[in-house]
């Protein structure tokens, strides 16, 4: 099977093209849907990772509050004392945060920032031994700020701007609460009776920082949270003013009254911080679940829609491909099976009705259905046309047969007239002209038979028994125009059965005619025959003509093999067509091949092989297949005996000889005269002597030893032994048929004249 090219798609099958049409949008849809679903899955994965890190976020917020408490407790402690409870709480929380961080697999940068902030805590505690409240509070403030910055760095991994805003708000609230803790720690570090100007300045700066952070937080809170935030930070403005004025005036006694508002505001901010982190946690958890659900939902919707679209597309494709396959199969069946079978039936002469053509069976009304209906109409018209052509060809053949039979009748009548004229002619020259007309009429009869074969008929033959091979070959030679150029080389014994003899003569005559026509006029055409190993007969016609090219030989052999095929070449090469058709009737094989002659010229040899069942060797039919019978599981075979072949005159003999060469009919009065019946010739005496020699063998003479002796020539018939002549023997060759006919004609005329004269004398 020939492979079609992958590109361009003109060589693709219909199924491939429809598959491409269906798969291309499916691939595009799958790509787009897969990209969207993959994005949702990535978002869900990021949210899930952030959700796993939320314990660290919550721990950082709680740790910031504990660090603020440690800072206040450290500032308020007496010199030389340490707030052990607050420190232990912070350390415990640090351990929990580190454990959560290890489990959550924080980003590398975030993990380093967390470890740095926690590491600075131990160093700050060691440095606090100097008792510098400003430096200590600044150190704690930086640690809490660093911890607060971890919150947005973790949340931003989710890739959600809303979550990033909430994380910034949570960080600002933690830092705002730290500024309050710084102010409280600085105010508690002031001892009674002393007021450190640096501590007051640091407290005022923390208050100013609180004001800035408070403004940032107000812009990110929702209305409900904003009202609560405003209510919680009502004392911030007055506290800031008092801290600023305490640097220039003697209002330091009022500073102790700021501790309660700071505690109240810090508690309110702590609630907001807790609520904000809870909102952040809930939002991340909800968005994680929603992202996963959306990804799964979209995947399910895409797959469902895709399957539904594929189902509809497959149904449509099936509705398209199924009738196309049926139409395709019907077209191939009609082209390769039905139409050839119909034509073969028409050739066999069977009646074929175009109404019996089975339709494809596609009843749809779209383009494919219309195409199927058109194909059904074309199929019916083709069958109808074949039937009409067969009928027309039959009529033409019958016309040809009628004309051929009429021509044959006239040719036969012409031959009868010629035979009558030949029997009465006395002039040898006129008799020779009549013989030529007789020969021309014989060839004309063969052309009429060719016309009958061309028309599909069979020439009329008379079954007059087997024909000897010598008569067969001479009969074929007598039907050729240049019969004098045909040289008979070898003739085996035997005969050809009567049912095939006339056709074989016709075959050989056509081949001899072709050989004499296409060879130089001075060259001989050799006709030879020999028995084959299979019991058949091989006859070869060899010429020394122009020869044929290998292509022409192959074409000629193909025409000889295709005996039933009528083509435009049939009229031009009618002889080959007739030879092939006659040979096919009897299983005769005819082949042409090139032959190298002695002179180096290329000729053509036509080989005619007759199968063994057509040959009777030496009067005995060729061996026929034996009948096999099974009796009790054993096979027994026995030949059927050949029927006796009565001696009969052959059609070849009837065709070759003229009326003068046949026996006279009983109605000839001259032949019935007593003198004519008793009239003998030396030839009759020789015949009778030969019969006596055969019927009465010579008496054997015994020698003294008791052995029979032979006398030379005792068994020879009179006239059989010819006297030897001196000189070298001349090469034997066939005599000229015209000369033979002339001699026989003169002999016959002399005998006829003598017999008539004797009969007249007896009557007188």
Cα–Cα distances in Å, from 268 out to 18, 227, 520, 590? 71, 12, 137, 124
Same domain, 165 and 268: yes
Q: Three-state DSSP class for 525?
A: strand
pLDDT tens digits for range 219-264? 888 888 888 888 888 877 777 777 777 766 656 666 777 788 888 8
- Domain termination residue (choose one: 569, 593, 616): 616
Q: For the chain, how many helices (H) and strands (E)?
A: 22, 13
pLDDT attached to residue 629: 30
Q: Does some domain include residue 670?
A: no
Q: Structurally, how many domains does the chain consist of?
A: 3
pLDDT attached to residue 641: 31
**Which residues partner with 621 through β-bridges?**
616
Q: What is the CATH number of the domain that holds 550?
A: 3.30.565.10
Instruction: Please say whether the beta carbons of 83 and 73 come within 8 A.
Output: yes
Q: Does some domain include residue 343?
A: no
Same domain, 450 and 467: no
Across 195-199, 487-491, 645-649, 675-679, which has the greatest mean pLDDT? 487-491
pLDDT attached to residue 630: 31
Alpha helix stretches (DSSP H) within 521-568: 550-561
Identify which has the larger pLDDT, 379 or 679. 379
Same domain, 294 and 434: no
What is the rounded distance in angstroms from the CA atom of residue 745 to the CA atom of residue 397?
42
What is the percent of the chain where pLDDT is above 90? 4
Same domain, 520 and 562: yes
Same domain, 78 and 227: yes
| Residue the block writes with tokens 């195409």 | 371
Task: State the average pLDDT over residues 299-321.
Answer: 81
Helix axes 108-127, 133-155, angle to 10 degrees: 170
| Residue the block writes with tokens 């500032």 | 75
Task: State the average pLDDT over residues 297-307.
Answer: 83
pLDDT tens digits for range 330-367? 888 878 877 788 777 777 767 777 777 777 777 777 77
Q: Does some domain include residue 708?
A: no
pLDDT attached to residue 684: 56
For residue 460, the Cα-to-chain-centroid distance in whole angstroms is 52
Instruction: Please say whether the beta carbons of 318 and 364 come within 8 A.
Output: no
Same domain, 612 and 506: yes
- Domain termination residue (choose one: 586, 616, 646): 616
- Res 269 pLDDT > 80: yes
Identify which has the larger pLDDT, 507 or 126. 507
Same domain, 455 and 468: no
Identify which has the larger pLDDT, 624 or 715. 715
Same domain, 385 and 474: no
Same domain, 442 and 469: no
pLDDT attached to residue 643: 37
Same domain, 28 and 174: yes
Instruction: Please say whether the beta carbons of 463 and 526 come within 8 A.
Output: no
Beta carbons within 10 angstroms of residue 354's beta carbon:
16
pLDDT tens digits for range 491-534? 888 899 988 888 898 899 889 988 888 888 888 899 999 988 88
Alpha helix stretches (DSSP H) within 518-598: 550-561, 569-572, 574-586
pLDDT attached to residue 539: 92
pLDDT attached to residue 662: 38
**Beta strands at 537-542 and 486-490: parallel, antiparallel or unpaired:** unpaired
Q: Does some domain include residue 100?
A: yes
pLDDT attached to residue 529: 92
- Res 383 pLDDT > 60: yes
Supply 319's token pair: 């509705």
Cα–Cα distances in Å, from 652 out to 462, 465, 734? 10, 10, 19
What is the rounded distance in angstroms from the CA atom of residue 29 to the CA atom of residue 604?
75
- Res 328 pLDDT > 70: yes
Same domain, 454 and 507: no
Q: Does some domain include residue 662?
A: no
Across 286-295, 360-369, 447-456, 489-498, which has the greatest mean pLDDT? 489-498
**Which residues partner with 627 through β-bridges?**
638
**Beta strands at 537-542 and 495-496: parallel, antiparallel or unpaired:** unpaired
pLDDT attached to residue 89: 92
pLDDT interval class at 92 (50, 70, 90): very high
Same domain, 72 and 41: yes
Q: Three-state DSSP class for 634?
A: strand
Q: Does some domain include residue 237?
A: yes
pLDDT attached to residue 8: 64
447: domain range?
A: 351-460
Instruction: Please say whether the beta carbons of 482 and 571 come within 8 A.
Output: no
- Return the DSSP state at 591: E
- Domain termination residue (choose one: 600, 616, 632): 616
pLDDT attached to residue 541: 92
Least confident of 177-186, 235-244, 426-435, 558-567: 558-567
Q: For the chain, give the mean pLDDT.
A: 75
Instruction: Please say whether the beta carbons of 156 and 164 come within 8 A.
Output: yes
Q: Buried b / exposed e across 523-549, counting CB within 10 Å, b at 16+?
A: bbbbbbbebeeebbbbbbbbbbbebbe
pLDDT attached to residue 716: 53
| Residue the block writes with tokens 């009409």 | 388
Q: Does some domain include residue 752?
A: no
Identify which has the larger pLDDT, 624 or 217. 217
Q: Does some domain include residue 640?
A: no
pLDDT interval class at 571 (50, 70, 90): low
């Amino acid at each position: 099977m020939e492979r079609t090219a992958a590109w361009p798609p003109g060589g693709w099958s219909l199924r491939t093209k429809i598959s491409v049409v269906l798969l291309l949008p499916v691939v595009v849809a799958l790509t787009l849907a897969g990209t969207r679903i993959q994005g949702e899955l990535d978002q869900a994965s990021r949210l899930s990772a952030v959700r796993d890190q939320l314990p660290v976020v919550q721990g950082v917020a709680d740790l910031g509050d504990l660090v603020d408490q440690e800072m206040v407790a450290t500032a308020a402690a007496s010199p030389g004392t340490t707030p052990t409870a607050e420190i232990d709480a912070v350390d415990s929380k640090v351990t929990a945060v580190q454990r959560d961080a290890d489990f959550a697999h924080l980003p590398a940068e975030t993990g380093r920032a967390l470890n740095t902030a926690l590491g600075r805590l131990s160093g700050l505690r060691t440095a606090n031994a100097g008792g510098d409240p400003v430096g200590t509070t600044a150190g704690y403030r930086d640690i809490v700020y660093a911890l607060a910055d971890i919150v947005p760095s973790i949340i931003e991994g989710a890739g959600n701007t809303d979550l990033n805003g909430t994380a910034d708000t949570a960080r600002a609230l933690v830092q705002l609460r730290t500024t309050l803790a710084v102010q409280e720690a600085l105010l508690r570090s002031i001892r009674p009776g002393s007021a450190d100007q640096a501590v007051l300045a640091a407290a005022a700066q923390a208050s100013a920082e609180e004001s800035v952070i408070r403004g940032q937080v107000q812009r990110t809170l929702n209305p409900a949270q904003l009202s609560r935030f405003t209510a919680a930070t009502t004392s911030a403005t007055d506290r800031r003013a008092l801290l600023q004025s305490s640097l220039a005036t003697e209002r330091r006694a009022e500073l102790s009254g700021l501790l309660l508002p700071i505690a109240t505001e810090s508690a309110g901010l702590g609630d907001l911080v807790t609520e904000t982190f809870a909102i952040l946690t809930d939002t991340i958890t909800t968005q994680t679940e929603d992202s996963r659900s959306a990804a799964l939902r979209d995947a399910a919707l895409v797959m469902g829609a895709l399957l539904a679209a594929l189902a509809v597309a497959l149904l449509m494709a099936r509705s398209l491909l199924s009738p196309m396959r049926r139409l395709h199969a019907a077209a191939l069946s009609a082209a390769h099976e039905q139409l050839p079978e119909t034509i073969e039936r028409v050739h066999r002469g069977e009646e074929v009705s175009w109404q019996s053509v089975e339709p494809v069976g596609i009843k749809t009304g779209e383009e494919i259905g219309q195409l199927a209906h058109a194909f059904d109409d074309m199929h019916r018209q083709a069958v109808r046309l074949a039937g009409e052509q067969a009928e027309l060809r039959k009529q033409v053949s019958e016309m040809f047969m009628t004309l051929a039979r009429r021509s044959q009748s006239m040719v036969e009548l012409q031959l009868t007239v010629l035979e009558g004229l030949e029997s009465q002619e006395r002039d040898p020259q006129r008799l020779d002209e009549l013989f030529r007309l007789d020969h021309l009429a014989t060839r004309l009869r063969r052309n009429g038979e060719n016309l009958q074969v061309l028309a599909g008929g069979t020439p009329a033959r008379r079954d007059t028994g087997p024909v000897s091979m010598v008569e067969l070959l001479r009969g074929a030679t007598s039907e050729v125009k240049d019969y004098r150029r045909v040289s008979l080389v070898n003739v085996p014994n035997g005969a050809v059965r009567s049912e095939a003899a006339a056709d074989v003569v016709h075959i050989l005559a056509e081949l001899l005619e072709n050989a004499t026509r296409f060879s130089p006029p001075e060259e001989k055409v050799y006709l030879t025959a020999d028995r084959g190993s299979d019991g058949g007969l091989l006859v070869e016609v060899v010429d020394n003509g122009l020869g044929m090219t290998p292509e022409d030989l192959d074409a000629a052999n193909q025409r000889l093999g295709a005996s039933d095929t009528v083509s435009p070449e049939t009229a031009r090469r009618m002889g080959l067509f007739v030879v092939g058709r006659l040979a096919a009737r009897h299983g005769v094989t005819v082949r042409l091949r090139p032959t190298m002659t002695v002179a180096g010229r290329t000729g053509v040899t036509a080989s005619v092989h007759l199968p063994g069942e057509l040959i009777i060797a030496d009067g005995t039919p060729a061996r026929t297949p034996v009948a096999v019978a099974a009796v009790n599981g054993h096979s027994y075979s026995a030949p059927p005996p050949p029927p006796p072949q009565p001696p009969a005159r052959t059609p070849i003999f009837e065709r070759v000889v003229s009326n003068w060469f046949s026996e006279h009919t009983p109605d000839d009065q001259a032949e019935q005269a007593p003198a004519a019946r008793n009239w003998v010739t030396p030839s009759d005496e020789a015949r009778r002597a030969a019969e006596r020699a055969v019927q009465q063998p010579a008496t054997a003479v015994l020698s003294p030893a008791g052995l029979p002796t032979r006398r030379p020539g005792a068994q020879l018939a009179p006239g059989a032994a010819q006297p030897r002549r001196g000189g070298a023997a001349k090469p034997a060759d066939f005599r000229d048929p015209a000369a033979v006919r002339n001699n026989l004609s003169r002999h016959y005329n002399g005998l006829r004249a003598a017999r008539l004269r004797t009969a007249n004398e007896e009557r007188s």
